[in-house]
Amino acid sequence: MKIQDIKMGKISTPLKHGYNVGKRILTFSDEIVIKMITDTGEVGYGSAAPTPFITGETENSIIGAINYIKPEIIGLDIENLEEIMKVLHSSIYGNNSAKAAIDIAIYDLLCKKYGIPLYKFLGGYKTSLTTDITIVNDTVEQMVEKSLQAVMDGYTCLKVKVGNHVDFDIEKVKAVRKAVRKAVRRGIKIRVDANQGWRPKEAVSIIRKFEDMGLDIEFVEQPVNAWDIDGLKYVTDNVSTKILADEAVFGPSDAFKIIEKRAADLISIKLMKCGGINNAIKIYNMAENMGIRCMMGCMLENRIGITAAASFAASKSNLVKADLDTMLFFDKCAIVGGAAVEGNTITINDAPGLGISEIIGWNEISLI
């Protein structure tokens, strides 16, 4: 089974509500979706979510990168995974989301060849997982309202986004915890995502206040700038609350630096950041061998990316946390098949590969 062609298309999915991303409010999720076609007629699916404020990739850059990589892998045998990955990651620098789309399609095809679902191919540890739900950075009142609604809807883990203003950040987290405790008393976990919003000493002061107030924060995600590994270690070493590295970890080399310095207690793995499943395996293996737990995260991805991420998460015992809630924000889904999402539970089916059967509204992108 050899790679014969890669076709690209775009799907736009409306969101239920506006989603704050940096200084922008998104009402649609736009993704580049590829169909990798083999000489036997089999089709593998992959997708890339443009996140210019994180990966530096736009729709146009993803299209350009995939088009650039395409001739390098045409003709390669799907079973020669090592050669394909060597070519993929050496053909162009960066462009990890574009590489992830190709990587996911390759794994989809490889699993289809042997008639096995992706999660079993990767390890087969379990068939379902529980995700948190994100409470986006907003006014205190709005965040409390959304948190209570989530709890009433059955969610047991809230990821509260902060990072704009120190005093307001503390007030928001305090208000959410107080409201949730009053509503259900116990059993609701709260994670805090600072989105690189604090300086190291500032982060230590804020997190210690969380601790002194008894807010029972499960962990704090990326409290300082992604490049500031020493600052991240300073925070980790000076608080009792666990610290998770997110934007600080793109590829395996970043993970190695974090692990070597013990700069974080947990590592977030995202396929769009690290370049796909193959690199995710490398990050995971390093972390597991050094006794560091992992969380599976995602960008604003639809069912293809979420199915790939959930399959990877379900396959591994050391991926103990999941932040794969973006499909909950979609008004409808153009992808038929794949992982099933019901409330906070994501279930993987036993169809070969990703289990994707159709993409509604997919239109091929014509390249001049």
Token pair 């704090």 is at which residue?
Answer: 220
Residue 62: closest CA among 9, 22, 26: 9
Residue 101: closest CA among 283, 302, 241, 290: 302
Who contacts 179 (Cβ-Cβ below 8 Å, separation ≥6)? 144, 147, 148
Is residue 146 among the annotated active site residues?
no
What residue ranges in the chain does DSSP mark as E strands?
3-21, 24-38, 43-48, 128-130, 133-135, 157-161, 189-193, 217-221, 242-245, 266-269, 293-296, 319-322, 335-337, 340-342, 345-347, 356-359, 363-364
Is residue 270 among the annotated active site residues?
yes
The Cα-based distances of 43 to 21, 73, 105, 229, 348 in angstroms read 33, 15, 8, 41, 20
Catalytic residue from among 70, 159, 270, 273: 270
What residue ranges in 98-182 does DSSP mark as E strands?
128-130, 133-135, 157-161
Edge-first strand order for the sheet with 345-347 is: 128-130, 345-347, 340-342
d(CA 217, CA 328): 23
Catalytic residue from among 112, 161, 172, 321: 161
d(CA 254, CA 246): 10
Q: Are strands 133-135 and 157-161 parallel, antiparallel or unpaired?
A: parallel
Backbone angles phi, psi at 167, to 5 degrees: -65, -45
Give catalytic residues, as residue numbers: 161, 270
